[in-house]
Every structure is written in structure tokens, then in C-alpha cells.
Amino acid sequence: MVCVVVILNVKAIIMKNVLISGGSGLIGRRLTQLLMDNGYAVAWLSRSKKAPTGVKVFNWDINKGYIDPEAITWANMLVHLAGEGIAEKRWSKKRKSEIIESRTAGANLLIKVMQENPGHIKTVVAASAIGFYGNTGNVAVHETDNAGDGFLSESVQIWEKATHQFELAGARLVQLRIGIVLSMEAGALKEIVQTAPMRILPVMGSGKQIYSWIHIDDVAGIILHSLNNPLAGVFNAVAPNPVSQKNILIAFKKAAHKNYLLMPVPAFGLKLIFGEMSSAVLNNQLVSADKIITAGYKFHFPEIENAMNNLLHE
């Protein structure tokens, strides 16, 4: 009886080993801390040896097609976050190729090494994006809805086609279509904060376009929920209350307790400066969170007001 208990306890420890690709990114850093706080052992796939204290590092190099095979045999769970940011540079033909290949090449390499070392990683959570739906208009879209039009939608479809192959490697796959992540460290909110000292907040186009946003803690929370529970398939990782771009600025203004001028930036100007990439800020992205809520996830920050208060003050 004692032997059985010891074996079960050892198995429980093994089952809490999580390997993260893209661990040094915005979501990866917050997720790493959350996992460690909840008793998980965490390792990053990285080309460098830099990682927080207590985090293992395994070498990988996508360009050379190399992953330390010990990473796969060590882990029972994989969170695939690695990939180029969509809004960091103008979408030239080269940049579009980089955005797509940075995610598909990483997934293909991971799948290859998992198939060469079968039976270890049983669960994969892979990051995708709500750009899959394109311009949604004013009707909320769900996971069962068709893909939209435009480069973002096309690229996400290619990413997801690659990550679906994780199932062929014997893993339970959770595909998360992540919305606009709000964090003080990077992304949309950081862009707002950078204009704040000038007492100016930019209203993109009409400002009426709907954004499906999510607090960084809820992104990490949904990933943890996906690891802890027998979820499978596609889930939207967005807060349950989307708001207009202008209302995001108003919520920031109220949380900051300061006076700001809301300055319109005409849509034609954005298109002139950013070209096709302007669609990322001008499109409606009205996306439903119903499925992940039904799957048992309880949002810490369901409303934009409490999200902004937390991010600016806590």
C-alpha cells in the first residue's frame, strides 16, 4: 500500500512539468509566475540561458531545426506561445512571411521532436488570435464561426493548421484565440501610457470599433485552467464584456484620475502611415467568451473599469 502511494505521489509531481515556448514574452512571463505559484515546475525553450530563478532552460533553435530532446522527455505539458508580434513593424511582404513562419516553424519543430520522443507531452495549449475572425461587424462571433478576410485571418488559419498537428503527436490540444492583451509591460495599454504624459489619448478612426480585450492575469489564468481541466478544442480568450476603443480610453482616463484630451486620429491617416496593418486597430472584433465561461473559467477582470483600476494602481 505504501509503495502504491509513493508511486502515485511521484506521478503527480511528474504531471506538473510545463514546457513553455516564448516564455520570455509578455504572456509567458506572467504565466511562468502563476504556474510556479501553483506548484508547477516550469522550463523555457530558449536560445539563451536567461530565465527567472527556478525556471529550467532548454536550448532550441528554430532556424537550425534543433530542440534539446531532454525538454520533451522532461515535460508532460507544453504551452506554445513563441512567435513574432503582429504590430511591431509595418506589414511588408517579408514581415508577413516572418509573422507566419515564426509560429508555424516552431510548431512543426516541436511536433517533430514530440513524435520522435512519444508518450511524454500529453497536453498542449497553443496561442492563436482573434484575428482569425477578421472584421466581425456588430455581431458577436463564436468558436464555430468561419474565418474572416484579410492578412490577420489568413495568418491565424495557417498557424492553427500547424498546431492542429499536435493531436497527431498524441496530445490533448487547447487552441486559445487571444484578444487584445492589457498589461502595463507591453501591448495596447503600454502604447496608451506612452502618450499619457502629453495629456493626449489617441482615438483611432471613429473610436466606435469594438475591441475584445483581456487582462494579462486572465490570459494566464485561462492557460492554467486549460492545463488543470480536460478541455480540448478552440476557445476564445477574451473578457466577457468587449468595449469600443474610445471606451477603453475613457476607462483609462477614469482610473488614472487625470484630465486627458481625446484626440481623433483619422482612419485615412492610419491607413497612410501603417498601410494594411491599420486594420488591426480599425476593425470591429466582437468576440464571445461564452465557451470558456461554460468550461468553468471565472474571470478576475470581466469589466474594463476594474481591469484598468487594477493595472494602473495594483
CATH number of the domain bearing residue 7 = 3.40.50.720
Total domains in the chain come to 1
* Element holding 156 (H helix, E strand): helix 151-163
Instruction: Write down the mean pLDDT value for the chain.
Output: 88
Say how many C-beta atoms besides its own lie within 10 A of residue 312's C-beta. 17
Residue 3: pLDDT over 60? no
Model pLDDT, residue 196: 66
For residue 306, tell me if it sits in a domain. Answer: no
User: What does residue 182 show for φ and ψ, rounded to 5 degrees?
Assistant: -100, 120
Q: Which three cell numbers mark 161? A: 493548421
In the DSSP assignment, the letter for residue 246 is H
pLDDT of amino acid 7: 46
**Range 222-249 average pLDDT:** 96
The secondary structure of residue 146, as a DSSP letter, is P
Q: Does 91 reside within a domain? A: yes
82 falls within a domain: yes
Q: Is residue 137 part of a domain?
A: yes
pLDDT band with cut points at 50, 70 and 90 for residue 68: very high
Backbone Cα Rg of the chain: 20
Residue 191 maps to a domain: no
Model pLDDT for residues 252-264, shown as the tens digit of each residue: 889 988 888 888 8
Separation between Cα atoms, residue 133 and residue 286, nearest integer Å = 9
Confidence of residue 10 (pLDDT cuts 50, 70, 90): very low
Domain interval for residue 101: 2-179+215-238
- Residue type, position 62, single letter: I
For 98-126, the DSSP string reads: HHHHHHHHHHHHHHHHHHHSTTS--EEEE
- Tell me which residue of 283, 287, 3 sits closest to 150, measured CA to CA: 283
* Distance (Å, whole) CA 221 – CA 224: 5
- Tell me which of 43-47, 114-118, 268-272 is least confident: 268-272
Question: What per-residue confidence (pLDDT) applies to 124?
Answer: 97
Burial class, 254, CB count within 10 angstroms (exposed 0-12 / middle 13-18 / buried 19+): middle
C-alpha cell recorded at residue 215: 487582462
Across 138-152, average pLDDT: 92
How many residues would you count in the chain? 314
Give the model's pLDDT for residue 8: 44
Q: What pLDDT was estimated at residue 82?
A: 84
pLDDT, residue 14, reads 47
Q: Does 11 map to a domain? A: yes
Provide mean pLDDT across the span 125-135. Answer: 94
- CA pair distance 105, 99, nearest whole angstrom: 10
Q: What three-state secondary structure class fits 59?
A: strand
How many whole angstroms separate alpha carbon 289 and alpha carbon 37?
26
- Predicted TM-score of the model (pTM): 0.91
Cell of 143: 468558436
Residue 1 has pLDDT above 60, yes or no: no
